[in-house]
Amino acid sequence: MVAKKVVIKNRAGIHCRPSSAIMAEVDKFPDVSFELRAESGTASMHSILELLALGLQQGDEATLQATGKNEAEAIEIIAAAFEREYDFPPQN
């Protein structure tokens, strides 16, 4: 098992569009189990509803955990997906 702290950077937090993009990345690693622990709770990263239920906002911190084959590579990719800005058009 590996763990990594992530900070939500998307201006509107993790809503439908970012959660969909994150889940698409998670699906690329079928042999890895992901879990996200935040102040608001814990979510299996294999359930978009659990992720949305955390209500993550910009600036929130969470710990991403990965267990399985290629977990080190997988956690870096999924962590980057959490720290990406998704809203379009970008606002200054």
Structural domains of the chain, with CATH = 2-82 (3.30.1340.10)
pLDDT in tens, 32-78: 999 999 999 999 999 999 999 999 999 999 999 999 999 999 999 99
- When computed from its CA atoms, the radius of gyration of the chain, rounded to whole angstroms, is 12
Contact 18, 10 (CB under 8 A): yes
Per the prediction, the chain carries an average pLDDT of 94
Return the pLDDT at 86.
84
Residue 3 has pLDDT above 90, yes or no: yes
- Please identify which of the residues 4, 15, 37, 46 carries the catalytic annotation: 15
Helices (H) and strands (E) in the chain, counts: 3, 4
Contact 9, 62 (CB under 8 A): no
Active site residue 46: no
Return the pLDDT at 92.
56
Return the pLDDT at 91.
57
Cα dihedral value 54, 84, 59, 3, nearest 10: 70
